[in-house]
Structure 1
Amino acid sequence: MNNKINLSKEKRNHMVSLIQSYFQNERDEDIGELASSLILDFIIEELAPVFYNEGVADSYKYMTDKIEDLLGIQKLLR
């Protein structure tokens, strides 16, 4: 299983641009493309797995609840 997040060049460039805009608008700092790219790499490597795992856990709970609902209906029909 490949755990690496692969972004298209367009998506990566857009995200780098968003990071640069954030620093400019929120911190009144100009940061270059390299610094923004390194921040993006950090987010992808260190933070994204946490959000991904939360999404998986939420999906699991949702699907489990739906399966239990389905089984509940089956028991009513017996």
Structure 2
Amino acid sequence: MKKIEFSKEAKAAIVSRIRRYFETELDQPIGALPAEFLLDFFAEEIGANYYNQGLRDAHAALLKKMEDLAEDIYLLEREEKNKVAGP
């Protein structure tokens, strides 16, 4: 699997949110570098779990759309004239 990477701007925003979380929820300030290391750790260790769940969700959504499309196509069918009845 390809390594999970963020743009410079996205990484800075995530690091900022990590720092804010530590400050407000844990009452423990954390520096930018430790917050960045924490982000890298989580991306490497559990990022695949979130990625795979996203793929499963996308797959389920696609299957639902395909079912809807199949139903729409069925509703467009017209009765065939001179259809030979089965044996």
Q: CA deviation at 1:35?
A: 1.2
TM-superposition CA deviations, 1:8-63 (whole Å, max 9, x none)? 22221221111111101011111112211111001211222211111111111111
Amino acid at match of 1:10: E
Amino acid at match of 2:3: K
Alignment of 1:46-65 (within 5 A): 46-65=45-64
Say how many residue pairs are matched: 77
Work out the CA distance in 2 between the residues paired with 1:30 and 1:70.
52
Aligned to 2:84: none
Which aligned runs of 4 or more in structure 1 are off by greater than 6 angstroms? Answer: none
Amino acid at match of 2:44: E
The two structures have a TM-score, normalised by structure 2, of 0.75
Structure with the largest fraction of helix = 1
Report % sequence identity: 39
* RMSD, aligned α-carbons: 1.6
Amino acid at match of 1:25: T
Aligned to 2:3: 4
